[in-house]
């Protein structure tokens, strides 16, 4: 039972990381809006995804109006 749980957990972790890597590729321009280091922005996108780059994109959209 624990072997199945471990395998499922590993698969879920790899799947989430892959999704965030794809997200990083498609929203890289929004990640570059981060005021800090680009490396930190990339790490934050990999860790938090939408929760990191979406507020940056919203702020950019508001400033263009």
pLDDT in tens, 6-64: 999 999 999 998 998 998 899 888 888 899 999 999 888 888 888 888 998 899 889 88
Residue that is written with structure tokens 């507020």 in the block? 55
pLDDT of residue 30: 86
Handedness of CA 16, 22, 26, 28 (dihedral sign): positive
Nearest CA-CA partner of 51 in 38, 34, 65, 36: 34
How wide is the angle at C-alpha 37 spanned by C-alphas 32 and 41, nearest 5°?
A: 55
Distance (Å, rounded) from C-alpha 47 to C-alpha 32?
16
């Amino acid at each position: 039972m624990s072997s199945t749980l471990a395998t499922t957990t590993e698969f879920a972790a790899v799947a989430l990381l892959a999704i965030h890597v794809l997200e990083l590729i498609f929203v890289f321009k929004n990640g570059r809006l981060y005021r800090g280091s680009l490396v930190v922005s990339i790490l934050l996108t990999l860790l938090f995804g939408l929760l990191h780059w979406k507020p940056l994109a919203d702020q950019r959209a508001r400033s263009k109006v």
